[in-house]
Amino acid sequence: MSLPEKIEVSADRKYPVYLGAALEDLGGYIHSLPDKVEQILVISHKKVADLYLERLMTGLGDYTVDLMIVPAGEEEKSLDRLSRLTTDALGFGADRKTLVIALGGGVIGDLAGFFASVYMRGIRLIQVPTTLLAQVDSSIGGKVAVNHPAGKNILGAFHPPVAVWTDFRTLDSLPWIEVENGLAESIKHALITDSDFFSFFETQADSIKRRDPVIWREMVARSASIKVRVVSQDEREQGIRRLLNLGHSFGHALETEMNYRGVTHGQGVSIGIVAAAFLANAKGLITLNEVERIKQVLRCYDLPTSISRQDPHALLQRMETDKKNQGGRKILILPQGIGNAVVSKECKDEEILDAWQKVILEDN
């Protein structure tokens, strides 16, 4: 068995991200923590627990472990679910020494993380991400949240984990549609920071689609390292972390306009990246050739680069309520060539409309 690679998030509080770790070894790591753990709550989905709890439990034999199963779905990131978790945790006798393990994708990570951030004013958390999106993105950076009827992630906190424990083998069971959500974020990481990594996505498409384990290992490790680097520089999203929102203002507008039906988050981000690239081209930040390269790489992974039957004006309207806007001005992240991105506060509505039009297909 190869040893996991350890990289450190050096934010307000440092914490390690273990890449290529084995679920079976997590118990040994918990034993080594300086503050004794007396009880563990594992929060997961049934499907994920059925697949991976047994392996996780191999190392946790010395602890009292209670399992809390949450139904799958974004709607479970709710105050109602938080309240139920609290009732269950109290029933299990969880106290301030209890450790929460979030075993799952971004939904579990955000929900279990938010629960850990508020239960008895905050208890320890270990993120054990099992989706590509969670391994390269959501488990790293300390953001945790639940949704409110008024919007996604409206109630949240920064609650950095004790550690992120990433077992690449959990990705073997991930359906391709979920892989796509993570790929959209990984390609975005490459586009905003690393042209060489962008070329990796261009040249390794066959291996990635075949799920070649060596190439996947490299892809997840490089992408997670980018997230670690960015949040280490700017944990609270005052500067460089904002670049991670590339494609999300457009994508989120599309997701909400379509009522979260017929477009996944990854697909929304993919189309959003292309719209942002067209806008960047109009501003002279990127060539049409580079826009074409971006479209091409997304298409390689079956990610969409356009959408039909949408009203650009309605989509522009949706962007009015973006959390990132400041003083009524839309703040957009635009690629600058391949491997770089900038924050733009100077995008006029006509330019944004134009970018939307370029990704909306005319119906015959």
Ligand X SMILES: NC(=O)c1ccc[n+]([C@@H]2O[C@H](COP(=O)([O-])OP(=O)(O)OC[C@H]3O[C@@H](n4cnc5c(N)ncnc54)[C@H](O)[C@@H]3O)[C@@H](O)[C@H]2O)c1
Structure-block tokens of residue 326: 């400041």
Catalytic residue among 189, 241, 295, 358, which?
241
* 333 has binding-site annotation: no
Could you report how far apart the first and last alpha carbons of the chain are, in Å? 56
47 binds ligand X (CB under 6 A): yes
* 348 has binding-site annotation: no
Q: Long-range contacts: 70-74, Cβ < 8 Å, 24+?
A: 70/43, 70/44, 70/45, 70/107, 70/108, 70/111, 71/45, 71/46, 72/45, 72/46, 72/47, 72/107, 73/107, 74/107, 74/147, 74/260
Nearest to 277 by CA among 297, 302, 255: 297
* 152 has binding-site annotation: yes
Q: How far is CA 23 from the centre of its chain?
A: 21
Interaction residues for ligand X, span 129-148 (CB under 6 A)? 130-131, 133-134, 137-138, 141, 143
Nearest to 73 by CA among 260, 315, 282, 248: 260
Contact assessment for residue 147 and residue 154, using Cβ atoms and an 8 Å cutoff: yes
Query: What is the nearest approach in angstroms of ligand X to the Cβ of residue 45?
Result: 4
* 144 has binding-site annotation: no
Nearest to 352 by CA among 342, 361, 364, 344: 344
Query: What is the nearest approach in angstroms of ligand X to the Cβ of residue 297?
Result: 20
Give the residue, chosen from 105, 161, 247, 268, that forms a contact with ligand X under the rule CB under 6 A. 105
Catalytic residue among 81, 147, 235, 245, which?
245
- Single out the segment in contact with ligand X by CB under 6 A; choices: 34-42, 45-53, 207-215, 355-363: 45-53
Tracing tokens 């991670």 back to the chain, one arrives at: 244
Catalytic residue among 159, 222, 227, 293, which?
227
The CB-nearest residue to ligand X is 106
Active site residue 348: no
In the bound state with ligand X, the residue whose beta carbon lies nearer, of 173 and 287, is 173
Active site residue 265: yes
* 159 has binding-site annotation: no
Active site residue 245: yes
Tracing tokens 């957009």 back to the chain, one arrives at: 332
- For residues 106-126, one letter each, b for 16 or more C-beta atoms within 10 angstroms of the residue's C-beta and e for the rest, the string is bbbbbbbbbbbbbbeeebbbb
Active site residue 96: no
* 108 has binding-site annotation: yes
Give the residue, chosen from 25, 167, 178, 257, that forms a contact with ligand X under the rule CB under 6 A. 178
* 36 has binding-site annotation: no
- Single out the segment in contact with ligand X by CB under 6 A; choices: 15-23, 46-54, 91-99, 309-317: 46-54
Which residues share a beta bridge with 165?
Answer: 18
Contact assessment for residue 128 and residue 66, using Cβ atoms and an 8 Å cutoff: no
Give the residue, chosen from 106, 247, 272, 335, that forms a contact with ligand X under the rule CB under 6 A. 106
Active site residue 227: yes
A 10 A CB-CB count for 100 gives: 27
Structure-block tokens of residue 102: 């979030």
Query: What is the nearest approach in angstroms of ligand X to the Cβ of residue 156?
Result: 8
Known binding residues for Zn(2+) are 185, 248, 265
So which residues are the catalytic ones?
A: 121, 143, 185, 227, 237, 241, 245, 248, 252, 265
Residues at the contact surface with ligand X, assessed by CB under 6 A: 45, 47-48, 51, 72, 74, 77, 104-108, 110, 130-131, 133-134, 137-138, 141, 143, 153, 170, 173-174, 178, 181
Known binding residues for NAD(+) are 106-110, 130-131, 143, 152
